[in-house]
Amino acid sequence: MTTSGREPGREPGQSGLLAPAGRAPSRPRRAPDGVPAEADRPGAGETAGIGTSVRRPDGRLKVTGEFAYGSDLWMDGMLWGVTLRSPHPHARIRSVQIGEALATTGVHAVLTSADVPGQNAYGLEHADQPVLAADLVRYAGEPVALVAADHPETARLAASRIMVDYEVLPPVTDPVAALAPDAPALHPGGNLVRHLKIRKGDPEPTADVVVAGSYQIGMQDQAFLGPEAGLAVPDGAGGVELFVSTQWLHVDQRQICAALGLPAERVRLVLAGVGGAFGGREDLSMHVHACLLALHTGKPVKMVYSREESFFGHVHRHPVWIDYEHGASSDGTLVYVTATMHLDGGAYASSTPAVVGNAGTMGAGPYVVPNVRIDAYGVYTNNPPCGAMRGFGSVQAAFGYEAQMDKLAAALGMDPVEFRCKNAMRMGSEGPTGQVLDSPAPVAELLRRVQRMPLPESGSADLRSLPGGVGNTTHGEGIVRGIGYAVGYKNVGFSEGFDDYSTARVRLELTGGEPVVTVHTAAAEVGQGLVTIEQQICRTELGVGTVVVVPKDTSVGSAGSTSASRQTYVTGGAVKAACEAVRERLLARVRERGERELAGLRLADGLVLADGAGPVGAIGEFLDAGPIEETVQWRHRPTQPIDPETGQGFAHVQYAFAAHRAVVDVDTELGLVKVVALDCAQDVGRALNPQAVVGQIQGGSAQGLGLAVMEEIQVRDGLIANPSFTDYLIPTILDVPPMRIDVLEYPDPHAPYGVRGVGEPPTISSGPAVVAAIRAATGRDLARVPVRPEHIAGPA
């Protein structure tokens, strides 16, 4: 480490490492030397505990460019690894010849499936995905061979010299056709990954007003800005250390160990700086590959994907086809919903079963519906594998059910917001799984709040604010404004009986005469700001301002995944519990010193306080006897698996809700859309860091906007047609409007501090609100997202 006089890996705020601990990078690196430890301490008079918008501890490193992402890691003598991927979506591998590749000057290793020492299969829920394809490839982009060389270009050149003889097979690309009895089985158990059934109430309900619709949601990419990257370092004794940008270190470790045939103590993982995640880093990418190359060559191996490779290197959001039918009584009360959903899981299962679980159990939307019949199917095809992405099944369902709500309101002659509010879930409502909502569910209030927000001024004549912008496609003629509403919900945390826990180690000690807290969890910081939350909780619970967040690694127990909007809840809960245990021991020392009779002992502002007395003493006085350290494993209350035939059960620990209002200007002649406003109200239970909460809502809203009007991985015959940022468009700063955010805080009595997960709900309702606004402007059905210009301006 090149920092002077500081313990390696303990710079405040840097959760990744500049270089592997204790090993100096060979290149002239600027060390993060401009980072005094004080930089991130709260200022005088600032408590910086929970509820304050204290700044991120990694903010300084990030604005100076010194924060080390996976792509920044560097070691002396390291090699570069590259992946050879299948160009075919479905093919049998007859042979792989590596001789010419291996003979290339500068190449150190060329590996194929025969070189995988352990189990050549991994996966989050089912181990069905090969580390390197052996005899069959099931999607275009599937890894087949690896090369390590002394330069990335050499490695790429050598990879192009690997001769793979493929017998090309016809791909199965339609998820509905894949379920036909005569469809070729892509996996030994057939093509069905999961069929979720929900049966509630009357199996054959009737209603006064019935509307039906078929909806299609395209495949979205997480498009995190920092492509997959990591560095594997052999330990010289048969083990390996992997520095990697990821979402869940321990689930990676488990899968890597199985593939390498090594026990957990031989495979250590450290989180490198993460350039965004959004679900796309929950599955393995280069993890095992880099480890294999490192163990094989005995040298550190770095792998960094290009943007193009990134499109093949991670799972995407499931494209979904949904048929909905809703019935309501003539007074506007929902009577029933039936839905059939097909989720294209692509070639491997990844988290498809859980995504199906969400799409199905949340498929009726945040409404009270007495009669529910939902069938959700997750299916294998030869399309790119799909898995986790922010909103995880709830996003796709919401496009369908919210379109249905607008249709029903129109059929009933009701205002769409009034209709929604009339049927909105509230605390005490029973969901489609029979689960009773036992914490606040302010669905109607969220809708009314966005409805009451001021509307943007009506269209300006300035070209730059019109659809088409400086493309000069209109001067206002043909422009119609539309307003749309949507509300959505999602489970927080892992569901259906999953043992969802986190581990936190908290230490309180004197450093240079001052009390300092050190907090260590394996919870991945991916940009959301968990490192800030961990510090804030420690400050609040222990009354100490200086909190050091240890880099995230596997030397502490699992924190579970940075996904499902769960880390503030679950790892926050673990940190709180560990702090409480530390505090108990400190207060025991206080009592031992003869302060037994004092009531209400507590810690604040560096002091031990008691009811009705002055300060009992400084916290530091009670640390002379040595540091206090506690490691706590913390779980939220358990959930249950749902009944396989009826879908009934206490499946989800918590629900989170958000509502959006979108205002759009549409050029009805050209089909161009400009989102003018996208305002949101969301209940977050309790905002531990209000500024970070608002940032999550704004970022999540923008991703929903992207899916509504521009983002789609176009797959034709199993091939991705647009793997680049010129052809896969994500919203630019001109595409996203300023956003008004209303944050509600109705505490969940079951959650630590009352928090409710924040990250995903804004991605669920923003897109449907945008599409509703375009429908309002155009009168078109728009049953497919993303909405393209031809859907608006083409033949109806």
Partner 1 sequence: MQVELTVNGERRSDEVEPRMLLVHYLRDVCGLRAANVGCDTTSCGACTVLLNGESVKSCTVLVAQAAGQEVITTEGLASDGELHPVQRAFRAEHGLQCGFCTPGMVMAAIGLLAENPHPTEREVREGLEGNLCRCTGYHNIVRAVLAAAREADAEVTA
In this chain, which of 7, 24, 63, 410 binds partner 1, going by CB under 8 A? 63
Q: Name the residue nearer to ligand FES (CB basis): 57 or 400.
A: 57
Nearest distance from residue 304's CB to partner 1, in Å? Answer: 8
Nearest distance from residue 38's CB to ligand FES, in Å? Answer: 25
Residue 786 preceded by cis peptide, ω within 30:
yes
Whole-number CA gyration radius for the chain: 27
Quote the tokens at residue 689: 């860091």
Residue among 289, 187, 171 at smallest CA distance from 229: 289
Q: The tokens 């926050």 sit on which residue?
A: 572
Residue 531 in contact with partner 1, rule: CB under 8 A: no
Q: Name the residue nearer to partner 1 (CB basis): 223 or 359.
A: 223
Q: Which residue is nearest to ligand FES (CB)?
A: 225
Q: Name the residue nearer to ligand FES (CB basis): 360 or 527.
A: 527
- Residues near partner 1 (CB under 8 A), total: 66
Q: Name the residue nearer to ligand FES (CB basis): 240 or 531.
A: 531
Nearest distance from residue 492's CB to partner 1, in Å? Answer: 19
Q: What CA–CA distance (Å, rounded) separates 326 from 338? A: 7
H/E stretch holding 775: helix 761-778
Q: Name the residue nearer to ligand FES (CB basis): 503 or 703.
A: 703
Residue 758 in contact with partner 1, rule: CB under 8 A: no
Q: The tokens 């059934």 sit on which residue?
A: 197
Q: What CA–CA distance (Å, rounded) separates 143 from 131? A: 7
Q: Name the residue nearer to ligand FES (CB basis): 374 or 705.
A: 705
Quote the tokens at residue 476: 């206002």
Give 487's strand partners: 659
- For the chain, what's the residue count? 796
Are the CB atoms for 226 and 69 separated by under 8 Å? yes
Contacts of partner 1 in 676-735 (CB under 8 A)? 691-692, 694-695, 698-703, 724-726, 730, 732-734
Q: Name the residue nearer to partner 1 (CB basis): 635 or 740.
A: 740
Nearest distance from residue 790's CB to partner 1, in Å? Answer: 24
Q: Name the residue nearer to ligand FES (CB basis): 255 or 528.
A: 528
Nearest distance from residue 552's CB to ligand FES, in Å? Answer: 18
Q: Name the residue nearer to partner 1 (CB basis): 249 or 291.
A: 249
Task: Supply φ then ψ for residue 165, to 5 degrees.
Answer: -95, 110
Nearest distance from residue 388's CB to ligand FES, in Å? Answer: 18
Question: In the stretch 25-44, what mask flags binding to partner 1 with x, by CB under 8 A?
Answer: x-xxxx---x-x--------
Quote the tokens at residue 728: 């896969």
Nearest distance from residue 225's CB to ligand FES, in Å? Answer: 4
Residue among 634, 696, 684, 677 at smallest CA distance from 656: 684
Nearest distance from residue 701's CB to ligand FES, in Å? Answer: 15
In this chain, which of 97, 333, 465, 555 binds partner 1, going by CB under 8 A? 465
Nearest distance from residue 12's CB to partner 1, in Å? Answer: 14
Q: 153: how many CB neighbours lie within 10 A of its CB?
A: 11
Q: What is the DSSP letter of 528?
A: S
Nearest distance from residue 699's CB to ligand FES, in Å? Answer: 8
Q: What is the DSSP letter of 206?
A: -
> Which amino acid does the sequence have at 587?
L
* Strand extents, DSSP E, 47-179: 79-85, 91-97, 107-111, 136-137, 143-149, 163-168
Angle between helices 287-297 and 249-260 in degrees, nearest 10: 50
Residue 465 contact, options ligand FES, partner 1, none, Cβ 5-8 Å cut-off depending on partner type = partner 1
Strands 91-97 and 136-137: antiparallel
- The four Cα atoms 133, 278, 565, 347 give a dihedral, to 10 degrees, of -30
Say whether 665 sits in a helix, a strand or coil. strand
Quote the tokens at residue 666: 């549409």
In this chain, which of 9, 218, 227, 393 binds partner 1, going by CB under 8 A? 227
Q: Which residues contact 604 (CB under 8 A, 6 or more apart)?
A: 543
- 406, exposed or middle or buried, with CB in 10 Å at 0-12, 13-18, 19+? buried
Nearest distance from residue 63's CB to ligand FES, in Å? Answer: 11
In this chain, which of 59, 87, 205, 754 binds partner 1, going by CB under 8 A? 59
Strand ordering across the sheet containing 136-137: 136-137, 91-97, 163-168
Residue 452 contact, options partner 1, ligand FES, none, Cβ 5-8 Å cut-off depending on partner type = none
Q: Name the residue nearer to ligand FES (CB basis): 70 or 482.
A: 70
Q: What is the DSSP letter of 99?
A: H
Q: What CA–CA distance (Å, rounded) separates 352 from 355? A: 5
Residue 227 contact, options ligand FES, partner 1, none, Cβ 5-8 Å cut-off depending on partner type = partner 1
Angle between helices 394-412 and 761-778 in degrees, nearest 10: 40
Residue 58 contact, options ligand FES, partner 1, none, Cβ 5-8 Å cut-off depending on partner type = partner 1
Q: Which stretch binds partner 1 (CB under 8 A): 65-73, 118-126, 349-357, 770-778?
A: 65-73
Residues of this chain that interact with ligand FES (CB under 6 A) are: 225, 276, 527
Nearest distance from residue 74's CB to ligand FES, in Å? Answer: 18
Q: How far is CA 258 from CA 123, 143, 236, 560, 562, in A?
A: 11, 18, 20, 19, 22
Q: Name the residue nearer to partner 1 (CB basis): 277 or 556.
A: 277
In this chain, which of 11, 72, 142, 228 binds partner 1, going by CB under 8 A? 72
Angle between helices 567-590 and 530-542 in degrees, nearest 10: 20
Residue 212 contact, options partner 1, ligand FES, none, Cβ 5-8 Å cut-off depending on partner type = none
Q: Name the residue nearer to partner 1 (CB basis): 225 or 588.
A: 225
Residue 418 in contact with partner 1, rule: CB under 8 A: no
Nearest distance from residue 224's CB to ligand FES, in Å? Answer: 7
Give the binding site for partner 1 (CB under 8 A): 25, 27-30, 34, 36, 53, 55-56, 58-69, 71-72, 74, 222-227, 273-278, 306-308, 464-465, 526-529, 691-692, 694-695, 698-703, 724-726, 730, 732-734, 736, 738-739
